[in-house]
Chain A
């Protein structure tokens, strides 16, 4: 990736795994802990988790890939999620999303070349009353239009 942060070391990953082994059904807590620590779940973690839990790497991959929020590679410094669900679509969400993608020059799940912004679709933020809505770094924003979106993207450093 564009970031120069060093890849997480195996012992660090193993320590996080060990912290959760006592739990019943420890796989999801482990995935959360690794993502929280490194911003993503490096592929090197998959076999380590598999060995620790005595399951296969396929099983880890199956669970991890089921949840869109688990990332295989680090995201940009800021994550913008635009709602693509029905209510937002009916309020101009499609145009808003296309505009944002065009402005950033990337496809869904892409990150800008400077590593500042990653853009993702999300299916309903529960903000239908304020559609179209988006979420930037965990903070929701509603009643967006092209200008506001552009301003937010610029603030994020796109």
Chain B
């Protein structure tokens, strides 16, 4: 990694050369110094352990040693020749010499050869000061370059004399006098590939294979002609399989693969470690800056969630922070048909406070509420729910987890006793059999997917339960042992059938169940699940899953070693979402796959801080730490500190708020960082609810779709502009650090405090650390968390308290949090959403790699080059039946509404099932989705909607009306001078 060259980098970022090993200790001497390292460690890494950097070009500690550059040669006593230290494992008693006249001469000679085909335009090169080739030339003391300039890869003129930065070399690019010269590939929006600077170390190719697992790169040709190639002949980076994760750019020791931002802005001089604000993986990044100008984001090697890897979103898609659409001034208006009026913060907050209080006076204390954001920090979310509980005086708080993982909270809470996943991400390294249900990690959680794929390439098996042929079913070097393509809406039947096979064939782990679970409940469950109506054969007709495959998959999971279940919104966003989560927990308990590395139940959380927003008491019935508001002792804790009475009745959930709004009893909403109009189901109902309210306060970066119905707009700050913490899918609390000052003037927690104080709260927080202290003081599972602890440890996984001072990577190790694990019967109830003659197809929704959620951020970056519109994926058979061709405009209609978009004919779909994404407001996929929801938690049934698909001539009436209203609503009048 070239990062370590940056002189002022934070912490210890030294590239150790080769990956760490875990073996018995071996002691050797290097240049006379004794060092003890695990068996299997390379000599190069052993030297690095004692602070000696052996020169190297092709080695890096995130990829296996390759031994091609020959710069790292050493001498070893008693051995012939000069072995490469990167590929030579240590041995007991070995005596290594890293600096002898012999190896120094070899290194110099090697370096001279490298330089003979490398342009010497270092001063005008974008990697100047951040180039390992340059550094190594210095380290080996290269002072001469004796080879005549002849054939080379950098001089387009063919004269063999010009450095690549020379204008004469560039001016003749059209007429290449030099057949070896290959022009730059600038097709990727975020980085360039310049073959002339390539030293063919293969680090990019190996990073793409070993770290990212995409295998998009290769070395084409041989000998002097060999160069890096993305894809096949004629492909550039954009046309190749490249997913733009940035691993190759990170790996490149020269300027051959270089961020365009570095080319434009220069090399950074300082860096801040922070946490990505995209998905629930929660990658640690180094934000590298010049002053307060962000130059690039590079994955942080010591980030425990990502281990130095990144995806196209976190690595490159941060441009939205400076997008022209961002609103930086507060705005108000009396009614939503008026244009916005820019006003001062004071005026906006007074206006908002008076309106909200006025509504409470007129319609009652419970007529207003809040929606917390899963994109904001824990501290900010805590304040928003505190606002409603302590200042509004009710429990009307909800969060977007309502529409994604609320069934996870309920299901795992009921069975295990905690509302969160059981493992850390590292756990996957010990997994033998993975069941993946309703999740598409290569698109939605790409960095974790890379780690999962690495384990799969090592031989672990994967069983995919999904209506679509996702990449993990079959893609380069990955093949699922079983793909169970179920009909949407039949999750419970499939999960129960798996359990049926395990129980009736006696494959369960009886010892585990006897010791760890409630045996009576198990017996009852075993009797229930053994009923032949749960057998794969009985449910085959219903689920569409071949019984033989399902049986084989169940056997493999139960007997294949460490079994881990990973799941996503394809499980939860159903009318029986909670039941499926319980079924998953049952499967894990049945097979004894809880409480150690390599196993567990792992919900892949959608948004960066959705776990945190749930932890922080965003739900109407729970105070922080999942404690019910009806409990007097819990309320007392907060009443004492906050000095107010807390309502003992749970408040309204989002759907209840909207229903109540339509009925006229819910009138005011403070919505932070969430676009409910685009992301929540049944858009027309959401729009009607919002339109019926008298004060909607939207606190966001952009005028999102919800803001079309708002009366107050409070500008938000990005994750780069504030301090705080995010909690990822593995319960890991990561620090978010202020990289630059908020463009809008205030961090989001400050804005919430200003609003609270405008309503008379009298809060006095001056830094988020004080909010975290209050959280720790009041919430047992966070008792040991503080910014000091996070500074010291990097991150911790809750529970973190006296019992677990270092946090808890694995849950339920010695016993379940609730005591005995609980088996709950999972009766399958078919969704009421059924396909029929009018709506014969089932629609399911999902996301794509380059876009994120409603797209508010990613649509405002070059990520749109990969996905600039939502498409409807449809099986060739269904398309042919309707006379539809790839790329045609089609009308998608359900009982709720209709919209238009373009078709993509694809055999990834099963016949009878269609699929689309919801990243673009023009499409509004949620006009189609219905108001059916999970029986326990109201999580909407996004994943099953009966639809019909037909030809279309253009936008539907709803789309046209909506766009007209949106345009009308977004008018802004500047503040009066």
Which residues on the B side are within 8 Å of A62 (C-beta)?
Answer: 218-220, 229
Question: B216 and A58: CB pair below 8 A?
Answer: yes
Which residue of A has the minimal Cβ distance to B241?
A56
Contact A61 B232 (CB under 8 A): yes
Please give the distance in Å from A102's CB to the nearest CB on chain B: 18
**Complex Cα gap A50–B221 (Å):** 18
A128–chain B nearest beta-carbon distance, Å: 21
For B240, list chain A residues within 8 Å (CB). Answer: 57-58
Residues B232 and A60 in contact, CB atoms below 8 Å apart: yes
Instruction: Find B233's partner among A43, A54, A55, A59 (CB 8 Å cutoff).
Output: A43
Cα–Cα, bound, A46→B239 (Å) = 14
A55 touches B477 (CB 8 A): yes
Enumerate chain A residues within 8 angstroms of B818, measured Cβ to Cβ. Answer: none
Q: Determine the chain A residues whose CB is within 8 A of the CB of B222 once the complex forms.
A: 65-66, 68
A145 lies within 8 A of chain B by Cβ: no
- CB A16 to nearest CB in B, in angstroms, measures 18
Q: How far is the CA of A68 from the CA of B475 in the complex (A)?
A: 29
Chain B residues within an 8 Å CB radius of A43? 232-234
Which residues of A are found within 8 Å of B479, using beta-carbon distances? 54
Using known A-B contacts A65-B220, A66-B222, determine if residue A58 contacts B230 with beta carbons closer than 8 Å.
yes
Q: Which A residues touch B476, using CB under 8 A? A: 50, 54-56, 59
Instruction: Please pick, from B214, B218, B474, B478, the residue contacting A61 in the complex, using a CB distance under 8 A.
Output: B218
In the complex, which residue of chain A has the Cβ closest to the Cβ of B216? A58
A40-83: contact bitstring with B at CB < 8 Å (1 yes, 0 no)? Answer: 00010011001000111111111001101000100000000000
Flag if A61 contacts B233 (CB, 8 Å): yes
For residue A53, give the distance in angstroms from its CB to the closest CB of chain B. 9
User: Distance (Å) between the CB of A70 and the closest chain B CB?
Assistant: 11
Known contacts A43-B232, A43-B233, A66-B222; is-contact A58 B217 (Cβ 8 Å): yes
- CA–CA, A13 and B232, complex, Å: 18
B821 within 8 A of A: no
Contacts of A61 in B (CB 8 A): 218, 220, 229, 231-233
A residues 4-61 touching B (CB-CB < 8 Å) = 43, 46-47, 50, 54-61
Does B215 belong to the interface (CB within 8 Å)?
yes
| B215: contacting residue among A46, A58, A68, A72, CB under 8 A | A58
Closest chain-B Cβ to A27's Cβ sits at a distance in Å of 13
* Cβ contact within 8 Å between B221 and A46: no
CB neighbours of B241 from chain A (8 A): 56-58
Task: Summarize A's interface: helix, strand, loop or mixed.
Answer: helix
B221 close to A65 (CB less than 8 A): yes
How many angstroms between the C-alpha atoms of A66 and B218 in the bound complex?
11
Assess whether B474 is in contact with A54, with CB atoms less than 8 Å apart.
yes
| Contact between chains at A57 and B474 (CB < 8 Å) | no
Picked from B232, B234, B475, the residue with its CB within 8 Å of the CB of A58 is: B232
For the complex, give the distance between the alpha carbons of A124 and B887 in Å.
53
Please indicate the chain B residues that have their CB under 8 angstroms from the CB of A54 in the complex.
Answer: 474-479
A146 CB, min distance to chain B CBs, angstroms: 26
Identify whether the interface residues of B are mostly helix, strand, loop, or mixed. Answer: loop
Q: How far is the CA of A57 from the CA of B219 in the complex (A)?
A: 12
Contact A55–B215 (Cβ < 8 Å): yes
CB of B232 within 8 A of CB of A46, answer yes
Interface centre among B218, B219, B235 (most CB of A within 10 A): B218
**Interface membership of chain B positions 217-260, coded 1 if the CB is closer than 8 angstroms to chain A and 0 otherwise:** 11111100000011111110000110000000000000000000
**B215 near A59: Cβ-Cβ < 8 Å:** yes
Minimum CB–CB distance from A15 to chain B (whole Å) comes to 21
Bound-state Cα–Cα, A68 to B477, Å: 26
- What 1/0 mask marks residues of chain B from 190 to 233 whose CB sits below 8 Å from any chain A CB? 00000000000000000000000011111111100000011111
* Binary interface encoding of chain B residues 452-482 relative to chain A, with 1 for a CB under 8 A from any of its CBs, else 0: 0000000000000000000000111111000
Number of interface residues of A (CB under 8 A): 17
CA A60 to CA B235, docked complex, whole Å: 13
What residues on A are CB-neighbors of B235 within 8 Å?
A: 57-58
Q: How far is the CB of B536 from chain A (nearest CB, A)?
A: 27
Q: What's the least CB distance linking B879 to chain A, in Å?
A: 21
Q: Whose C-beta in chain A lies nearest to the C-beta of B225?
A: A65
Q: Are A57 and B477 in contact (CB under 8 A)?
A: no
Among A56, A60, A68, the one with the most B-chain Cβ atoms within 10 Å of its Cβ is A56
Closest residue of chain A to B219 (Cβ to Cβ) is A62
Q: How far is the CA of A68 from the CA of B231 in the complex (A)?
A: 18
Asked whether, in the complex, the Cβ of A66 is within 8 Å of the Cβ of B232, the reply is no
Chain B residues closer than 8 Å to A56, beta-carbon distance: 214-216, 231, 241, 476
Which B residues touch A72, using CB under 8 A?
Answer: 233
Query: Which B residue sits closest to A47, measured CB to CB?
Result: B232
Closest chain B residue to A50, Cβ basis: B476
Chain A residues contacting B221 (CB-CB under 8 Å) are: 65-66
Q: How far is the CA of A43 from the CA of B235 in the complex (A)?
A: 11
Q: Contacts A65-B220, A66-B222 hold; do A58 and B231 have CB atoms under 8 A apart?
A: yes
Return the CB mask of A87-109 against B: 1 if under 8 Å, else 0.
00000000000000000000000
Interface string of B340-362 (1 = CB under 8 A from A): 00000000000000000000000
B229–A58 touching, CB < 8 Å = yes
A46 to chain B, nearest CB (A): 5
* Bound CA span A55–B221, Å: 19
Report A31 CB to chain B, min CB distance, Å: 13
Question: From B227, which residue of chain A is reached at the shortest CB distance?
Answer: A65
Cα A47 to Cα B476 in complex, Å, equals 12
B208, closest chain A residue (CB): A58
B470 vs chain A, min Cβ distance (A):
15
Distance of B842 from chain A, by nearest CB (Å): 28
CB distance from B698 to the nearest CB of A (A): 44
> Once the chains are docked, how many angstroms separate the CA of A19 from the CA of B214?
27
- Please give, as numbers and ranges, the residues of chain B lying within 8 Å of A46 by CB-CB distance: 232-233
Interfacial chain A residues near B229, Cβ < 8 Å:
58, 61-62, 65
Residues in A whose Cβ lies below 8 Å from that of B233: 43, 46, 61, 65, 72
Chain B: minimal CB distance from A156 (Å): 25
Tell me the smallest distance from the CB of B235 to a CB of chain A, in Å.
8
Inter-chain contacts of A58 with B (CB < 8 A): 215-218, 229-232, 235, 240-241
**Looking at A46, A50, A60, A62, which has the most chain B CB atoms within 10 Å of its CB?**
A62
Measured between alpha carbons, how far is A56 from B214 in the docked complex, in Å? 8
Q: How far is the CA of A60 from the CA of B477 in the complex (A)?
A: 13
Q: In the complex, how many angstroms separate the beta carbon of B955 from the nearest chain A beta carbon? A: 36
Task: Evaluate contact between A59 and B474: CB separation under 8 angstroms.
Answer: no
CA distance A60 to B214 in the complex (A): 14
In chain B between 550 and 572, which residues have their CB closer than 8 angstroms to a CB of chain A?
none
> What A residues does B478 contact at CB under 8 A?
54
What is the chain A residue whose CB lies nearest that of B214?
A56
A66 to B474, CA, bound (A): 27
Which residue in chain A gives the minimum CB-CB distance to B231? A58
C-alpha gap A65/B215 in the complex (Å)? 16
CB distance from B223 to the nearest CB of A (A): 10
**Cβ of A118 to closest chain B Cβ, rounded Å:** 17
CB distance from A122 to the nearest CB of B (A): 14
Give B214 Cβ to nearest chain A Cβ, in Å: 8
Chain A residue contacts of B234, Cβ below 8 A:
43
What CA separation (Å) do A72 and B221 show in the bound complex? 13
Residues of B near A47 (CB, < 8 A) are 232
Q: How far is the CB of A50 from chain B (nearest CB, A)?
A: 8
A residues near B216, Cβ cutoff 8 Å = 56, 58
Q: Within the complex, what minimum Cβ distance (angstroms) separates A75 from chain B?
A: 17
By a CB distance below 8 angstroms, the chain B residues around A66 are 220-222
Produce 1/0 per residue, B179-197, CB < 8 A to A.
0000000000000000000
How distant is the Cα of A47 from the Cα of B218 in the complex, in angstroms?
15
Question: A106 to B477, alpha carbons, bound, how many Å?
Answer: 42
The chain B residues found within 8 Å of chain A, CB to CB, are 214-222, 229-235, 240-241, 474-479
Pull 11 A–B residue pairs with CB atoms less than 8 Å apart, ordered by A. A46-B232, A47-B232, A55-B476, A58-B232, A58-B235, A58-B240, A59-B215, A62-B218, A62-B229, A66-B221, A66-B222
The 5 A-B residue pairs with the shortest CB-CB distance, nearest first, are A62-B218, A61-B232, A58-B218, A65-B220, A56-B215
New A-B contacts (4) at CB < 8 Å, excluding given A55-B477, A56-B214, A66-B222 = A50-B476, A54-B478, A65-B229, A66-B220
Which positions in A face B, CB cutoff 8 Å? 43, 46-47, 50, 54-62, 65-66, 68, 72
